[in-house]
Amino acid sequence: MTGYPEFEILSMTEVQQHYDVYRYNKSIINHDIRDWRIFETDGYEIIVISSGLKNTGGHWIEVVQVSNEGSKTVIRIREHQPPPDALVTMAFINPTVIIKMKKADTFSDKEVLTWDGKLFLKNNGFAY
């Protein structure tokens, strides 16, 4: 398997159709959990990537690329933060992105990297 598997970013309405994913996502909203988890459903893999608790709005995660490299599927992300002079809401948030891919198009071994090639480090928080 080589190339770039197709993926889609799920909306909250779509996430609600997958109970385990919805339950996990809801449980990490206000917790400092920097993590990524894979949920399997109907021939698809749903991957939830969260960057940990932030104390203002304006933070978000962008999926830059998904590719099959060697014997693993690599997901490259970029974590965005608001500019220093931006007007932002004062609220605790845990930026999260949820993607869905066909299981047949990806390897079982996965890795999440930042846009500059560094391993996306997890703090292995436990939400439920």
Residue 73's pLDDT is what? 96
- What are the extents of the domains in the chain? 7-114
The model's confidence at residue 31, banded by pLDDT at 50, 70 and 90, is confident
**pLDDT value at 103 more than 50:** yes
Question: CA 77, 113, 125: angle at the middle one, nearest 5?
Answer: 90
pLDDT over threshold 50, residue 128: no
Percent pLDDT > 90 in the chain is 80
pLDDT tier at 123, thresholds 50, 70, 90:
low
Residue 3: pLDDT band with limits 50, 70, 90: very high
Confidence check: pLDDT of 50 > 70: yes
Residues in the chain, how many? 128
pLDDT at 126: 52
Nearest to 35 by CA among 94, 109, 91: 94
Rounded to two decimals, what is the model's pTM? Answer: 0.91
The residue to which tokens 């996965």 are assigned = 110
Band (30; pLDDT cuts 50, 70, 90)? confident
**Chain-wide mean pLDDT for the chain?**
91
Structure tokens at 28: 């990490």
**Cα 95 off chain centre by:** 9
Instruction: Give residue for tokens 């969260």.
Output: 50
Q: How far is CA 27 from CA 2, 30, 58, in A?
A: 35, 8, 21
Q: How many CB atoms lie within 10 A of CB 125?
A: 16
| Beta strands, E only, 42-92 | 44-51, 60-69, 72-80
E-only strand ranges, the chain: 7-9, 34-41, 44-51, 60-69, 72-80, 96-102, 110-114
* Predicted pLDDT at 122: 73
Task: Give the separation between CA 63 and CA 69, rounded to whole angstroms.
Answer: 17
